Structure 1
Amino acid sequence: MSELRVWAVPGIPEVREGDDLAKLIAAAEPGLVDGDIVLVTSKIVSKAEGRLVRADDREAAIDAETVRVVARRGTLRIVENRQGLVMAAAGVDASNTPAGTVLLLPEDPDASAEAVRAGLRDALGVEVGVVVTDTFGRPWRNGLTDIAIGAAGVRVLEDLRGGTDAYGNPLSATVVATADELAGAGDLVKGKAGGLPVAVVRGLGEAVAAEQGGARELVRSARDDMFRLGTSEAVREAVTQRRTVRAFTDEAVDPGAVRRAVAAAVTAPAPHHTTPWRFVLLESAESRTRLLDAMRDAWVADLRRDGKSEESIAKRVRRGDVLRNAPYLVVPCLVMDGSHTYGDERRDAAEREMFVVATGAGVQNFLVALAGERLGSAWVSSTMFCRDVVRGVLGLPDDWDPMGAVAVGHPAVAPGERPARVVSEFVKVR
């Protein structure tokens, strides 16, 4: 490619529901040839497909098109919509539409692009690519641009990985969003208010191909999205999506992720400006096995003293294998450094309770932070029943009280839905 030509197509009339866009474009005599790429604004696609709906309340229309709220500031919402796009207001457009109506994005923009492409082939006998475009704001950048939300017959991504640059250096991460670049080029000649909803790019015939995956390939998967949520939403998501995970994969746990979670844990509130938390990280398989074997022996001894049968004991021990199956263990401990002694049983008991509550707050921070790192966890109380054993095996000071153990790892299965809980059932207002 040595030269590109981009121009807007004049003569496209006002589009109404049921109009054949390919015929309208062909009638405007755009002079298309094989290898051209036609850029079509999503607004006219939506109008032709009857996506103009009554909506006295635009917010309700946005709610109906929203799958997930990504970030919110005042009335502005960045959401994931039904098409999988993350954008402001779910793409619901109230501009240039009759009062009391809004325009929704096409239901399937890739299918819309394919319909226009096939129609132009039938009408003009040309093999072209088609890109459906929409206006888009971008994180970290001011200003709007057009992006591709639908495509047909266009290579939307150009993967340069495995090649080399001009200096012979290997390209290991370069994947070019060709369809988005085309959409931005078309916007320069269409304009936002020029009444020119269609543009043509010529000179990039190598990007036109019959079988392509469509613009959905441009949408980053949730697993690969490092910026999936806004700040407050990320916190809320981590809290509400945290689950007790009892089955883990063999994938190793990043020790750095656990330490970041500990850093979050020690920001919890505590009495008297103290720091009552300590976290023992069991990173070696040998340390985990040694601790769990000793705890198992202590548990079995307790059960025998309780008169349990050997069969019953074996079943209980098997049910306790969540810690043994985890690739990483953490033992949170309580220390009473800085606590007050009153010489009064009631007040001394309340003092310890304050420190226990603070430790629980720290562990909750820890669990939520692990969820933010995409790690599963299970907080199990078992170390509290054999604290002397745990201290002895791990070589901990006598004033460190183990407060359970946290199994950490990558979840083996997706967490199940949490049973619905009605907030009013947990609230008393006075």
Structure 2
Amino acid sequence: MAADEKHSPAGGERHSRAGGERHSRAGGDGRPAYRVWALSGIPEVRQGDDLAKLIAAAEPALADGDVLLVTSKIVSKAEGRIVEATDREAAIDAETVRVVARRGALRIVENRQGLVMAAAGVDASNTPAGTVLLLPKDPDVSARAIRDGLRDTLGVNVGVVVTDTFGRPWRAGLTDVAIGAAGVRVLDDLRGGADAYGNPLSATVVATADELAAAGDLVKGKAAGRPVAVLRGLPGAVSAADDPGEGARALVRSPRDDMFRLGTSEAIREAMRGRRTVRAFTDEPVDPGAVRRAVATALTAPAPHHTTPWRFVLLESAGSRVRLLDAMRDAWIADLRRDGRSEESVARRVRRGDVLRGAPYLAVPCLVMDGSHTYGDTRRDTAEREMFVVAAGAGVQNFLVALAGERLGSAWVSSTMFCRDVVREVLDLPAGWDPMGAVAIGHPAQEPKARPERDAEAFIEVR
């Protein structure tokens, strides 16, 4: 046993690392074990090289059930993903789909392969000066090609994992993860089972392919010139010869399930850009807690004289919404008739105003002038009220953006401002509360259209 032998806290299993090999030995009770070792003799890979043949030549004794852990750099070289790049930043730009977070020169981005990682995976190491390595175009396809090639060359059924190095949220240091896979169970879904104490497992899905990738990295090393490792002893991780598996793409969270999709400043900016007026909602109930969190965000808006000029009336029952909207509709119809509108015109306008009626949740933001100053001068008193109105608008904007952050759609409708007395009476509000429109809230019935890009410079004057 090598001098750097380590003992597992669980007892019985021992891990050793010597000569580029790591073992997990079965204990006396016959527990499963595996062995992982790095291959020597892989030459410098060049464009057009057949990786399966190079691996077969380095390790002709591969067996059914082995897993090959292949560093993405050699896959990229074989596929000609080396590009001239005197400016690495430009290469990163070209591979970036979306900036997730930025701090100084460091960028965490989503790249063309759908992976969220530093610098889009563009690498200037282990490649000639003046060039950079891009990730394989489709690492799952690359893994399948290596697997098929090894089956043709050696007649073995193996799994293949293409690996790359990632940093991770909340954790210091780097580790290898799977970016491509073939013939490997990438996720082990344990939900519906039970633990050793009989407790149900309701959220446990193990990233098996990432664990395999990390095991290979322990023996490959980052600068040892050993880009391929073999793991033996876990045949259950390898699928049947005619089953390529779902690929490592299955490890990438969907945007809807990703709670940490953006960095702080990017999340704020994306929430602002993603806030769109939604006029059609599903019947899915709205979480009242989400609305209250949005109200808490609204209260961070600036206000004059250290005041709190915002109040939010939440209409959570269908009865309260119907009473308010019926009373507002009657008042609106009366106004339109006084204006001489025809009955057809009145009916058409009322139909256009039904966005509030179709929402499963309404909020009525109100302005209160508590703490305002009275000057006895029309000009100054008007300016004083305008300050409070601006503060109320800032609160409403915060509220709408926070709702978007909660994945709720909303529409701010000004109608309550035109019948404030009616709204105050129906909702039993104090005389000093001025309704500032109403906000329809719910889950969008369809994805809002993309916001058209606007050139900020067109809205700026510099003096």
For this structure pair, what is the TM-score category when the shorter chain's length is used for normalisation?
over 0.9
Q: Find 1:80's aligned residue among 95, 101, 110.
A: 110
Q: Deviations over 1:294-329 (max 9, x none)?
A: 000000000000000111111100001110001100
Aligned counterpart, 1:61: 91
Aligned counterpart, 1:219: 252
- Cα distance in 2 between the residues matched to 1:206 and 1:99: 43
Q: Find 2:47's aligned residue among 10, 13, 17.
A: 17
**Structure 1 position 100, deviation (Å):** 1.5
Q: Which secondary structure does the structure 2 equivalent of 1:378 belong to?
A: strand
**In the alignment, is the contact (CA less than 8 A) between 1:156 and 1:177 conserved in 2?**
yes
Q: Give yes or no for the alignment of 1:45 onto 2:75.
A: yes
- Cα distance in 2 between the residues matched to 1:29 and 1:295: 80
- Cα distance in 2 between the residues matched to 1:403 and 1:48: 63
Aligned counterpart, 1:106: 136
- Cα distance in 2 between the residues matched to 1:260 and 1:169: 33
Q: Deviations over 1:301-359 (max 9, x none)?
A: 00000000111111100001110001100000000000000101111111000000000
Aligned counterpart, 1:163: 193
Q: Which secondary structure does the structure 1 equivalent of 2:68 belong to?
A: strand
Distance 1:119 1:180, change over 3 A: same
Q: Which secondary structure does the structure 2 equivalent of 1:318 belong to?
A: helix
Aligned counterpart, 1:362: 395
2:421 is aligned with what amino acid?
D
- Cα distance in 1 between the residues matched to 2:361 and 2:59: 67
Q: Which secondary structure does the structure 1 equivalent of 2:312 belong to?
A: strand
- Cα distance in 1 between the residues matched to 2:300 and 2:274: 21
Greater mean alpha carbon deviation, residues 390-399 or residues 95-104: 95-104
Greater mean alpha carbon deviation, residues 418-427 or residues 68-77: 418-427
**Structure 1 position 282, deviation (Å):** 0.3
Q: Give yes or no for the alignment of 1:263 onto 2:293.
A: no
**In the alignment, is the contact (CA less than 8 A) between 1:70 and 1:78 conserved in 2?**
yes
- Cα distance in 2 between the residues matched to 1:189 and 1:47: 21
Q: Give yes or no for the alignment of 1:33 onto 2:66.
A: no
- Cα distance in 2 between the residues matched to 1:140 and 1:54: 34
Aligned counterpart, 2:225: 195
**In the alignment, is the contact (CA less than 8 A) between 1:9 and 1:30 conserved in 2?**
no
**In the alignment, is the contact (CA less than 8 A) between 2:365 and 2:437 conserved in 1?**
yes
Aligned counterpart, 1:136: 166
**Structure 1 position 245, deviation (Å):** 0.7
Q: Which secondary structure does the structure 2 equivalent of 1:234 belong to?
A: helix
**Structure 1 position 97, deviation (Å):** 1.3
Aligned counterpart, 2:5: none
Q: Give yes or no for the alignment of 1:389 onto 2:422.
A: yes
**Structure 1 position 379, deviation (Å):** 0.4
Paired residues for 1:193-342 under 5 Å: 193-210=223-240, 211=243, 212-342=245-375
Q: Find 1:403's aligned residue among 429, 436, 445.
A: 436
Structure 2 runs not aligned, ≥5 long: 1-30
**Structure 1 position 30, deviation (Å):** 4.4
Aligned counterpart, 2:22: none
**In the alignment, is the contact (CA less than 8 A) between 2:161 and 2:181 conserved in 1?**
yes
Q: Deviations over 1:65-113 (max 9, x none)?
A: 1111111110000011110100000100011211211100000000000
RMSD: 0.7
- Cα distance in 2 between the residues matched to 1:28 and 1:292: 76
Aligned counterpart, 2:16: none
1:119 is aligned with what amino acid?
G
Q: Give yes or no for the alignment of 1:147 onto 2:177.
A: yes
**Structure 1 position 423, deviation (Å):** 1.1
- Cα distance in 1 between the residues matched to 2:410 and 2:170: 33
**In the alignment, is the contact (CA less than 8 A) between 2:273 and 2:451 conserved in 1?**
no
- What is the number of residues matched between the two proteins? 430
- Cα distance in 2 between the residues matched to 1:32 and 1:385: 79
Q: Deviations over 1:358-414 (max 9, x none)?
A: 000000010111111111110000000000000000000000000000001111111
Aligned counterpart, 1:177: 207
2:88 is aligned with what amino acid?
R
Q: Find 2:448's aligned residue among 408, 415, 426.
A: 415
- Cα distance in 1 between the residues matched to 2:92 and 2:409: 33
Aligned counterpart, 2:412: 379
Structure 1 runs not aligned, ≥5 long: none
Q: Give yes or no for the alignment of 1:119 onto 2:149.
A: yes
Q: Which secondary structure does the structure 2 equivalent of 1:366 belong to?
A: helix
- Cα distance in 1 between the residues matched to 2:60 and 2:427: 78
The percent identity for this pair of structures is: 83
**Structure 1 position 171, deviation (Å):** 1.0
Q: Which secondary structure does the structure 2 equivalent of 1:397 belong to?
A: coil
**Structure 1 position 420, deviation (Å):** 2.1
Q: Which secondary structure does the structure 2 equivalent of 1:281 belong to?
A: strand
Q: Which secondary structure does the structure 1 equivalent of 2:249 belong to?
A: helix
2:109 is aligned with what amino acid?
V
TM-score (normalizing by structure 2)? 0.92
- Cα distance in 2 between the residues matched to 1:417 and 1:224: 20
- Cα distance in 2 between the residues matched to 1:15 and 1:200: 18
